[in-house]
Chain A
Amino acid sequence: MELTDIIFYIFALVTIGSAMIVVFSRNLVYSAFSLMFTFLGVAGLYVLLLADFLAVTQLMIYVGGILVLMIFGVMLTHRVVNVEISSGAMRVIPATIVVGVFLGTLLLVLTRTKWMVMEGSPDVIGTTSMIGTALVTDYLLPFEVSGVVLLVAIVAAAFMARKR
């Protein structure tokens, strides 16, 4: 077992464990904060998958942006003064059974399938320039469209969230 394998298992444990806290915690603030550790663990997995640009993007956008937005959402829609910021659950047992069966099927298929795996690792040192080149050549149209999508989302969010 090499060092990278041990690091993989540590990151996997952090990711899955904190994701379980996110889902099963009664307190919304606890969920939001352990979501941060899930995102950090996933960023670590990205590093192990040789995706350095995506790992940094994950840190900046998810941890720095989306998570702050979530916590603002919690603060703005609940009275923080009463400490009871809980979120109830409903139909837990049937949902757990269905999701468990779903997960079991997924795991069965994943472990039984013979995936096409190439030997070796891609000889890349830093993916940033390659992603940049791909964005303005092969993926030019999706790139432009996603710019428009972001603009529309900003305008829509600002329009909907303002006070009437």
Chain B
Amino acid sequence: MMHVTLTHYLVISAILFSLGLLALVTRRNAIMMLMGIELILNAANVNFLAFSRYSALDIHGHVVAVFVILLAAAEAAVALAIVLNIYRTFSTVNVDQINQLKE
């Protein structure tokens, strides 16, 4: 418990990243894996903004974070469309039961 520095933000970001990674590798549900990816992207954004605030004192980290959020939105839309198609074809979204690319 002391004054908040850059390291505090980096530690939070590392914990968020690890939790996202854990969700990504252990969960079988495709939507749950997407949530893990979102956690990882958020961790990366916290890192960008923390370095932008404490180490560079400029705006470039913010711009990169804007692009990360944009790509996360595009990724979520396309991935959920894929998940819907998988559900229509296999009647499940558990990734360990999906083993062919065509019907």
Contacts and interface: CB of A to CB of B under 8 A. Distances in A.
Interface of A: 1-2, 4-5, 8-9, 12, 15-16, 19-20, 22-23, 28, 31-32, 35, 38-39, 42, 45-46, 48-51, 53-54, 57-58, 61-62, 65-66, 69-70, 72-74, 76-78, 87-92, 95-96, 98-100, 102-103, 106-107, 110-111, 115-118, 120-122, 124, 127, 130-131, 134-135, 138-139, 142, 146, 149-150, 153-154, 156-158, 160-161
B98 interface: no
Contacts of B31: 28, 70, 73-74, 77, 87
Interface range for B: 35 or more
21 contacts: A19-B39, A20-B19, A45-B12, A45-B49, A61-B72, A62-B38, A70-B38, A73-B31, A76-B87, A91-B25, A95-B26, A102-B18, A115-B6, A115-B54, A115-B55, A117-B5, A117-B55, A118-B56, A127-B62, A134-B59, A134-B63
